[in-house]
Structure 1
Amino acid sequence: MNIQLTKMELIEMLLNTRKTSVLKKVKAVLEEDLDQLTAEDYQIIDARRNRHLSGESKSFSWEDAKQSILKL
């Protein structure tokens, strides 16, 4: 199965549908797929947040982060 071809077929089908019920169902399925964080993921996020709030980790402004990324 060619995943890129499948995606293109789905995009075409979505563009051609006139049924809002179909669009709502597809949207619901895709949104479910986005929420894939595990309990371990949440523990890591909480630990990092706590380190940030306590001042243990360094933080950057958006401009600093953007400049750092653009240098890569």
Structure 2
Amino acid sequence: MDLQLEKIELIELLLNTKKEAVLKKLRAILEKDQEINLTTEDYDIIDKRRELHLKNETKSYSWEEVKSNARLAK
């Protein structure tokens, strides 16, 4: 089945349900699917980059610069 069609059908079912328990179960499933599992190495990299940033040893970007660069990368 087409993934987009499946999503639309699920949304329709969600909109039509009146059972709070169903909504809670669905929320739990979707939130678990969205969890980010970082390794110790990932945290080490993040900590090192944060440390460099706080020492002004890396370049910072404004939100406008980030959006502009993202558009250019397309």
C-alpha distance in structure 2 between counterparts of 1:22 and 1:38, whole Å: 30
- Cα gap change, 1:41/1:9 in structure 2, threshold over 3 Å: closer, same or farther? farther
The aligned residue for residue 49 of structure 2 is: 48
Query: Are positions 1:3 and 2:3 aligned together?
Result: yes
- Cα gap change, 1:66/1:2 in structure 2, threshold over 3 Å: closer, same or farther? closer
Q: CA deviation at 1:67?
A: 4.2
- Cα gap change, 1:2/1:42 in structure 2, threshold over 3 Å: closer, same or farther? farther
C-alpha distance in structure 1 between counterparts of 2:28 and 2:61, whole Å: 35
Q: Aligned residues, how many?
A: 71
Question: What runs of 5+ residues in structure 1 fail to find an aligned partner?
Answer: none
Deviations 1:41-63 (A, max 9, x none): 33332222122112211112334
Which has the larger displacement, 40-49 or 54-63?
40-49
Q: Which amino acid aligns with 1:22?
A: V
Which has the larger displacement, 58-67 or 8-17?
58-67
Q: Which amino acid aligns with 1:13?
A: L
Deviations 1:8-64 (A, max 9, x none): 111111011011111111111111111123214333322221221122111123344
Q: TM-score, normalised by structure 2?
A: 0.72
